[in-house]
Amino acid sequence: MDRFHAYSDVSTDTPSKYISQLCKHFAHKLTVSHDDSKGRIEFPIGLCLLESRPDVLHMEVEAASEEDLTRLQEVVASHLERFAWRSPPQIHWQRSTDKDAGQGA
């Protein structure tokens, strides 16, 4: 089964803070695991992996269809933008193939 993947590297001084905020927010309704450097959020339409890197929040999303992937990108980005409103992040998603996926988080 093909899976659709995308990733974004978001410049920030506080990637761990945003991992914690995103994971705690979604933990009320979804299966979530996280620590200071990584996060995993299991949505009904796909998966979001988060990783703290030096001055970067690395985000990967995966879904079974292009439509679900696009929706997942929108959901994750809109929540990050809401949490980071004081310094709006630049989120530029890059699509990747199955062979490229799993290189990060």
Q: Is 51 domain-assigned?
A: yes
What CATH number is given to the structural domain containing 74?
A: 3.30.310.50
Q: Is 34 domain-assigned?
A: yes
CA distances from 27 to 24, 53, 89, 99 (A): 5, 22, 22, 29
Q: Is 42 domain-assigned?
A: yes
The residue among 35, 33, 30, 12 whose CA lies nearest residue 83 is 12
Our CA dihedral for 29, 71, 78, 89, rounded to 10 degrees, sits at 130
Q: How many domains does the chain have?
A: 1
Sort 14 into a burial class: Cβ within 10 Å, 0-12 / 13-18 / 19+: middle
Q: Is 101 domain-assigned?
A: no
pLDDT tens, per residue, the chain with 105 residues: 689 999 999 999 999 999 999 999 999 999 999 998 999 999 999 999 999 999 999 999 999 999 999 999 999 999 999 999 888 899 999 998 654 544 444
Q: pTM for this one?
A: 0.89
* pLDDT at res. 97: 65
Q: Which domain holds residue 19?
A: 4-95
